[in-house]
Amino acid sequence: MDNAAPTGPAPRPLRIGDSAPDFEARSTAGPVRLSDYRGRWLVLFSHPADFTPVCTTEFVALAREAAAFEARDCALMALSVDSLFSHFAWLRMIRDRFDVEVRFPIVEDPTLVVGRAYGMVCAQDSDSATVRTTFFIDPAGTIRAMSCYPASVGRSIPEMLRTLDALQAIDAAEGLAPANWQAGDALLRPPAQDIDEVFAAEGQADWFLREATPRKGKRR
Ligand code: BEZ
């Protein structure tokens, strides 16, 4: 993707299963290229603006949980329309006020070329700020999950980690993560794929709702 201002119609919204569009940009950790993250998980997320209350709480919370993402072999990358120098000043303020260093890269996207490609900008909004979108990108560069919150609601870092745990667990065990699943809980088995399996199942619901072998070693 070249970083020129966009022309023409808006791209179709990204969906789960799409390849994460590649880009190169300046960031607080130096130049970054999305494709350089192939081989590990990446959480790419946008925030509306530096020096705003909810965003500050998100960055403090994420920086404090950076080791938990690292333990899952997952990098973090943030993005907003603010300039690199705004990002620097904000991170310095966060360090001085909250005693935590944000070491993951924050991309500057003043032309919104990345924000638009990822659908991080509200199309109806006259404000060019990005909303709180989060993309979970797997080691092959495929978007596996995404979320979108308004500027007024901060994200849950435990839920981000839970989503990552669930994606990694289902890849390892080819199971399904039920409601409220937490790392270490049993996964569900994929439902029957043919009528023989349906008729052979013992319990009434066993052909579509049954636990896979419980997994050991709860991480948290
Ligand atoms: C916030 O992070 O607090 C925020 C950002 C943009 C608009 C409103 C609130």
Ligand 1 atom nearest to 55, measured from its CA: 2
**Interatomic CA distance for residues 181 and 163, integer angstroms:** 9
CA atoms within 13 A on the CB side of 127: 10
Out of 55, 74, 122, 148, pick the active-site residue: 55
> Looking only at Cα atoms, what is the longest distance across the chain?
64
Is 66 in a helix, a strand, or coil? helix
Catalytic residue list contains 55 = yes
Residue 138 has pLDDT above 50, yes or no: yes
Measured in Å, residue 112 CA sits from the centre of ligand 1 at 18
Residue 97 has pLDDT above 60, yes or no: yes
- pLDDT for 120 equals 93
Within 10 angstroms of residue 84's Cβ, the number of other Cβ atoms is: 15
**Interatomic CA distance for residues 169 and 114, integer angstroms:** 30
Ligand 1 pocket test target in 47, 50, 55 with most atoms within 8 Å of CB: 55
The burial of 121, by beta-carbon neighbours within 10 Å (0-12 exposed, 13-18 middle, 19 or more buried), is given as buried
The burial of 25, by beta-carbon neighbours within 10 Å (0-12 exposed, 13-18 middle, 19 or more buried), is given as buried
Q: Whose CA is nearest to atom 1 of ligand 1?
A: 54
Please write the tens of the pLDDT for every residue from 13-65: 999 999 999 999 999 999 999 999 999 999 999 999 999 999 999 999 999 99
Single out the residue of 180, 188, 179 nearest to residue 206, CA to CA: 188
Residue 9 has pLDDT above 80, yes or no: no
Residue 215 has pLDDT above 90, yes or no: no
Please write the tens of the pLDDT for every residue from 173-213: 989 999 999 999 999 999 999 999 999 999 999 999 999 96
Rounded alpha-carbon distances, angstroms, from residue 54 to 51, 149, 172: 9, 12, 35
Residue 216 has pLDDT above 80, yes or no: no
Residue 11 has pLDDT above 90, yes or no: no
- pLDDT for 174 equals 86
Q: Measured in whole angstroms, how far is the alpha carbon of residue 52 from the centre of its chain?
A: 21
Is 33 in a helix, a strand, or coil? strand
More confident residue, 41 or 124: 41
Please write the tens of the pLDDT for every residue from 69-88: 999 999 999 999 999 999 99
The burial of 120, by beta-carbon neighbours within 10 Å (0-12 exposed, 13-18 middle, 19 or more buried), is given as buried
Structure-token pair, residue 68: 């938990």
Measured in Å, residue 28 CA sits from the centre of ligand 1 at 21
- pLDDT for 130 equals 80
Ligand 1 pocket test target in 46, 47, 50, 54 with most atoms within 8 Å of CB: 54
Measured in Å, residue 54 CA sits from the centre of ligand 1 at 6
Ligand 1 pocket test target in 52, 127, 133 with most atoms within 8 Å of CB: 52
Between 2-11, 156-165, 172-181, 192-201, the lowest mean confidence (pLDDT) is in 2-11
- pLDDT for 220 equals 44
Measured in Å, residue 116 CA sits from the centre of ligand 1 at 19
